[in-house]
Amino acid sequence: MIYFDEISLATQGFSDIMDITDEVEKVLKKSGISEGLVTISVPGSTAGVTTIEFEPGLVKDLKEALERIAPANAGSYSHDRTWGDGNGFSHIRAALIGASKSFPVKAKKMMLGTWQQIVLIDFDNRHRRRKVTVQVLGE
Amino acid sequence: MIYFDEISLATQGFSDIMDITDEVEKVLKKSGISEGLVTISVPGSTAGVTTIEFEPGLVKDLKEALERIAPANAGSYSHDRTWGDGNGFSHIRAALIGASKSFPVKAKKMMLGTWQQIVLIDFDNRHRRRKVTVQVLGE
Amino acid sequence: MIYFDEISLATQGFSDIMDITDEVEKVLKKSGISEGLVTISVPGSTAGVTTIEFEPGLVKDLKEALERIAPANAGSYSHDRTWGDGNGFSHIRAALIGASKSFPVKAKKMMLGTWQQIVLIDFDNRHRRRKVTVQVLGE
């Protein structure tokens, strides 16, 4: 069985980190699938999906880490010199984190830790509307 | 068909890198599945799964790279200032590497290179017991 | 249903970034599968798969970001001191980016953004022939 749904989100951009665990769990429940694989994926080249303990300190720490890894310094990106949209850093961060993650489902639950939340990160340099795809494959 | 199993591991923490390829292959064999997808996933927010050539030099190199990317410097993490558990760096490394990886299975074998091993990395700042989920989906 | 195919590529190494979206779409079409999951995976420990807007500026930017994250400085890697093949940086970059990515398929299309291409990155320090595995699981 294959079940699809989308989560619609308004984001602030600039590595806005949003906890989507509850929404993913709702999709899983609606799917009726008890054993399988859930894939969370964001179409687009300036956003990503990962997991983290969603608490304000770590949200700040992850933004700072991303700033060290791919600084938001427009002048230093060829993408920005060519296209002038100033979001070269957003694309690089997205390529590093990845746009999609998959987790096993057992007894109607995703195999995640208690303090492990699924997050969408919007790396873009402006407000965006995002649609996150949630797919459940199983039985 | 969907098959589940768990691998139990004692780790040292501090980006302890453990080769779990043989254990994953044992689960795949037990599953009897010859074509499909194997997903290796670690519940928790301070561990990750990836692949690397598992040899002592690269194990050391990867630890050093992680130290450059997210230094184990307690004072610099909001998480540590708030919660005092000193493992902010562990959470950040885990969010960057990811908690789950999936690989195709064909003719009862995972499509991995000869020098490519599946590793669990425990980023936490203490000894841990980990349970890695191995799920095989296929026929 | 499970469908397999391989994409053969000649790469230049040194973080050569190659757009394989069209080839993956061809495999998806041949599979006849309209709903499911496509997994793109490269066997080997010095290559990776991710997504990015494939334009010359970002290709350059991503190479520069990888050089900051894991510099191609042979002297600083234990792997290179032990084995002398000078590609320690290649292995580290591959372990960070990951060798495999999965994307949902709906109505015969991968759920990717318009400017989001699937790329193989060959991190090795020489020309290589690569075989990328494309697996489609679904119905």
Q: What is the pLDDT of residues C95-122, one digit of tens each?
A: 999 999 999 999 999 999 999 999 999 9
Kindly determine whether residue B91 and residue A65, on different chains, have CB atoms separated by under 8 Å.
no
CATH of the domain at B20: 2.60.120.460
First vs last Cα of chain C: how many Å apart?
6
Largest CA distance in chain C: 51
- Nearest CB neighbour to C95, from listed B35, B50, B139: B50
Separation of alpha carbons B100 and B109, rounded Å: 19
**pLDDT for residue B55:** 98
* Closest chain C C-alpha to A54 CA, distance in angstroms: 22
Residue B116 is given by DSSP the state -
Average pLDDT, chain A: 97
Question: Could you tell me the sign of the dihedral formed by the alpha carbons of A127, A19, B96, A98, in that order?
Answer: negative
Kindly determine whether residue C39 and residue B101, on different chains, have CB atoms separated by under 8 Å.
no
If one counts the domains in chain B, the total is 1
Separation of alpha carbons C137 and C20, rounded Å: 19
* pTM (predicted TM-score): 0.98
Separation of alpha carbons C105 and B74, rounded Å: 43
Chain A partners (3+ C-beta pairs within 8 A): B, C
pLDDT in tens, A12-60: 999 999 999 999 999 999 999 999 999 999 999 999 999 999 999 999 9
Q: Residue B100: beta bridge partners?
A: B41
**pLDDT for residue A40:** 98
A44 in reach of chain C (CB within 8 A): yes
A37 in reach of chain C (CB within 8 A): yes
Phi, psi of C131 (to 5 degrees): -120, 115
Kindly determine whether residue B106 and residue C77, on different chains, have CB atoms separated by under 8 Å.
no
Q: Residue B74: is its pLDDT beyond 80? A: no
- Here the tokens at position C81 are 């001191």
* Local structure of B99: helix, strand or coil: coil
pLDDT in tens, B99-118: 999 999 999 999 999 999 99
* Local structure of A61: helix, strand or coil: helix
First vs last Cα of chain A: how many Å apart?
6
Q: Residue B51: beta bridge partners?
A: B118
**pLDDT for residue A118:** 98
C2 in reach of chain B (CB within 8 A): yes
- Please report which confidence band the pLDDT of residue A74 belongs to, taking 50, 70 and 90 as the band edges: confident
A54: left (phi over 0), alpha (psi -120 to 50) or beta: beta
- Here the tokens at position A104 are 């096993």
- Please report which confidence band the pLDDT of residue C73 belongs to, taking 50, 70 and 90 as the band edges: confident
Separation of alpha carbons B77 and B85, rounded Å: 11
pLDDT in tens, C16-27: 999 999 999 999
**Helices then strands, each counted (H, E), chain C:** 4, 8
Residue of C52, C100, C105 to mutate, testing the A interface (most A Cβ within 10 Å of its Cβ)? C52
Contact in structure between C15 and C121 (CB atoms under 8 Å):
yes
Task: Give the rounded distance of the alpha carbon of C62 from its chain centre.
Answer: 13
Kindly determine whether residue A78 and residue C65, on different chains, have CB atoms separated by under 8 Å.
no
* Closest chain C C-alpha to B58 CA, distance in angstroms: 5
* Closest chain C C-alpha to B75 CA, distance in angstroms: 22
**pLDDT for residue B75:** 82
**pLDDT for residue B25:** 98
Query: Considering only CB atoms, which chain A residues are within 8 Å of B102?
Result: 37, 102
B44 in reach of chain A (CB within 8 A): yes
A34 in reach of chain B (CB within 8 A): no
Kindly determine whether residue A2 and residue C62, on different chains, have CB atoms separated by under 8 Å.
no
Task: Give the rounded distance of the alpha carbon of B103 from its chain centre.
Answer: 14
Q: Pinpoint the alpha helices (H) of B1-139.
A: 21-31, 56-69, 78-83, 88-97
A35 in reach of chain B (CB within 8 A): yes
Kindly determine whether residue C102 and residue A69, on different chains, have CB atoms separated by under 8 Å.
no
Q: Residue C49: beta bridge partners?
A: C120
Contact in structure between C133 and B37 (CB atoms under 8 Å):
no
Range of the domain at B9: 2-138
Separation of alpha carbons B137 and A36, rounded Å: 8
B128 in reach of chain A (CB within 8 A): no
Contact in structure between A119 and A18 (CB atoms under 8 Å):
yes
- Here the tokens at position B124 are 């936490």
Alpha-carbon distance values, A98 to A51, C11, C52 (Å): 12, 22, 9
pLDDT in tens, C42-68: 999 999 999 999 999 999 999 999 999
Residue B77 is given by DSSP the state -
